[in-house]
């Protein structure tokens, strides 16, 4: 159920209970079980009003004398734990307290809650000295001036999950006024429970109040029934989500998740990309609960592990040799290794054939020839210029060159023998 430890938040409520995690301000008791994480040990949950009469005392202790007494009590009531050694004890006492609507002359009750733990096993002890009233006079409780009738006190413990709890016989009935005469450990007025997450080890109630069966059992977490013989089915509330299978255990359950879900209750949908690795810069995307890799240009395959062969479609024509690149291709140029003397741009024509486009002032297959600085045209109509050098531009035309005479429309073509080239 719960494991009271030094660091656990616990609250002494003047309505006769110790609560864990949060206070319980309700004075009119409700029957166990109650859910919403309302974890309580209730010696006498009723409409206590200690403003009119009585006091509430509490303390925690590691006093060795108290620890030794608590250890011996647990050995006596739970001999199956001979190694138990109390490390911490908390004691809360409601001393001669009266009920709401009462006064200084009204009946009073005295009872006590003790919490004992070694940090692993946890127990609670209820001690009842004198119980004379059961109900407050608030309209919701309905008690009379003697503190009887209406909705009487609740006693027992509650784990807060709506499943694990124990009601001391007579709770919320008139019979609870005689709780000081009942027990589950052979000592009238004393009830002892193990309240951590225990397995089945119920204690038989040897003294029972008049009108109840000859015995009853205080069942520990996860079991119920007159003899604590019934394992509570933690799967009955269908806690597993997304069509997961629930496996019942002792005071617990586990969920078997269907593909695509995870978490204690199978409440988390898994992304298929969590187990998918896309290579070469590929990006994983989930589609219909399936992981798909979106590959970078130039790659393919389920995981983008393969490089596309752009040469596979034979893109190079006229006998060109294709060289595969990433997302591209190329082919060796016929210009490779050719010497155009850095005076030109090499232009590929076909496999094994190229020409050099020469810079102005040079000609030849490899632009190895330099045009004459002065050219003397001999055209009949240009006699006046025979003795005067003119400016001209040399233009390469395969194995010839032409001279364009500046300022005229005349062109002179000269054939020459050239070496080199292809």
3-state SS track over 314-331: CCCCCCCCCEEECCEEEC
- Across the chain, how many H-helices and E-strands are there? 1, 31
State phi, psi for 138 to the nearest 5 degrees. -60, 150
Task: Take residue 32 and report the two structure tokens written for it.
Answer: 């166990």
pLDDT digits (tens, 9 = 90+) for 87-129: 999 999 999 999 999 988 999 999 999 999 999 899 999 999 9
Q: State residue 291's pLDDT score.
A: 85
Better-scored residue on pLDDT, 125 or 355: 125
Strands (E), 270-337: 283-287, 290-294, 299-300, 306-307, 323-325, 328-330
Three-state DSSP state, 383:
helix
When mean pLDDT is compared across 75-79, 190-194, 395-399, the lowest value belongs to 395-399
Three-state DSSP state, 57:
strand
Three-point CA angle 106, 110, 113, nearest 5°: 145
Q: How many CB atoms lie within 10 A of CB 80?
A: 7
Better-scored residue on pLDDT, 34 or 133: 133
Distance CA 340, CA 271 (A): 61
Whether residue 357 is predicted with pLDDT greater than 70 in this model: the reply is no
Q: State residue 113's pLDDT score.
A: 97
Compute the mean pLDDT over every residue in the chain, rounded to the nearest whole number: 76
Whether residue 409 is predicted with pLDDT greater than 70 in this model: the reply is no
Q: State residue 342's pLDDT score.
A: 53
The burial class, CB within 10 Å (0-12 / 13-18 / 19+), for 365 is: buried
């Amino acid at each position: 159920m719960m494991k009271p430890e030094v660091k656990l938040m616990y609250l002494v409520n003047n309505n006769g209970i110790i609560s864990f995690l949060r206070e319980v301000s309700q004075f009119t008791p409700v029957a166990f079980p109650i859910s919403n994480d309302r974890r309580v040990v209730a010696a006498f949950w009723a409409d206590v009003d200690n403003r009119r009469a009585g006091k509430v005392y509490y303390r925690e202790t590691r006093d060795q004398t108290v620890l030794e007494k608590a250890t011996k009590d647990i050995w006596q009531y739970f001999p199956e734990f001979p190694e138990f050694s109390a490390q911490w004890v908390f004691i809360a006492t409601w001393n001669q307290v009266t009920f709401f609507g009462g006064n200084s002359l009204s009946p009073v009750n005295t009872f006590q809650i003790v919490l004992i733990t070694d940090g692993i096993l946890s127990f609670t002890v209820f001690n009842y000295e004198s119980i004379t009233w059961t109900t407050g006079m608030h309209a919701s409780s309905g008690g009379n001036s003697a503190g009887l009738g209406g909705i009487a006190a609740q006693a027992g413990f509650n784990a807060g999950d709506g499943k694990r709890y124990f009601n001391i016989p007579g709770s919320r009935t008139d019979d609870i006024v005689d709780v000081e005469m009942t027990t589950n450990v052979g000592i009238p007025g004393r009830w002892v429970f193990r309240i951590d997450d225990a397995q089945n080890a119920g204690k038989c109630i040897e003294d029972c109040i008049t009108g109840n069966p000859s015995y009853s059992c205080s069942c520990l977490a996860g079991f119920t029934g007159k003899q604590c013989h019934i394992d509570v089915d933690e799967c009955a509330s269908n806690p597993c989500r997304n069509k997961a299978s629930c496996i019942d255990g002792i005071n617990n359950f586990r969920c078997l998740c269907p593909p695509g879900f995870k978490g204690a209750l199978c409440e988390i949908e898994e992304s298929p990309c969590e187990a998918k690795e896309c290579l070469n810069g590929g990006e994983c995307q989930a589609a219909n609960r399936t992981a798909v890799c979106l590959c970078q240009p130039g790659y393919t395959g389920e995981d983008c592990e393969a490089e596309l062969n752009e040469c596979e479609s034979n893109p190079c024509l006229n006998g060109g040799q294709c060289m595969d690149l990433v997302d591209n291709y190329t082919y060796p140029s016929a210009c490779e290794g050719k010497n155009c003397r850095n005076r030109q741009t090499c232009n590929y024509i076909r496999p094994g054939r190229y020409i050099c486009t020469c810079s102005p002032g040079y000609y030849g297959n490899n632009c190895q020839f330099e045009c004459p600085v002065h050219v003397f045209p001999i055209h009949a109509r240009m006699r006046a210029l025979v003795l005067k050098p003119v400016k001209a531009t040399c233009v390469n035309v395969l194995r010839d060159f032409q001279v364009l005479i500046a300022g005229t429309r005349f062109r002179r073509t000269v054939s020459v023998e050239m070496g080199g080239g292809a």
